[in-house]
Amino acid sequence: MRKLRGNHLTKLAMALSLALPLAAVAQNPTPGTNAQRPAQSATDQSNAGAADTTKASRSDTKFMKEAAMGGMMEVELGRVAAQQGASEAVKQFGQRMVDDHGKANTELMTLASSKGITLPAQLDEKHREHLTKFSSMTGADFDRAYGKEMASDHRKDVAAFEKESTKGTDPDLKAFAAKTLPTLQEHLQLAESLPGAERVGGNMNSNMNSNRNMNSNRNRNGNSNKP
Tell me: pLDDT of 66 over 80: yes
Domains observed in the chain: 57-203 (1.20.1260.10)
- Specify whether the CB–CB gap between 138 and 84 falls below 8 A: yes
Q: Which of 26-40, 73-87, 108-122 has the lowest mean pLDDT?
A: 26-40
Tell me: pLDDT of 47 over 60: no
* Distance separating alpha carbons of residues 73 and 68, to the nearest angstrom: 9
Q: Sort residue 139 into left (φ over 0), alpha (ψ -120 to 50) or beta.
A: left
- At 77, the pLDDT band (50, 70, 90 cuts) reads very high
- At 225, the pLDDT band (50, 70, 90 cuts) reads very low
- Residue 142: name the closest of 105, 102, 94, 106 by CA: 94
Tell me: pLDDT of 214 over 70: no
* Distance separating alpha carbons of residues 141 and 86, to the nearest angstrom: 9
Per-chain mean pLDDT for the chain: 77
- Our separate counts of H helices and E strands in the chain read 8, 0
Tell me: pLDDT of 73 over 90: yes
Q: Which of 34-38, 91-95, 134-138 has the lowest mean pLDDT?
A: 34-38
Q: Which amino acid is at 138?
A: T
- Residue 146: name the closest of 102, 94, 205, 186 by CA: 94
- Backbone CA torsion sign across 82, 85, 91, 96: negative
Reported pTM: 0.64
Position 211 scores a pLDDT of 44
- Reported as a single tens digit per residue, the pLDDT across 24-36 is 544 554 444 444 4
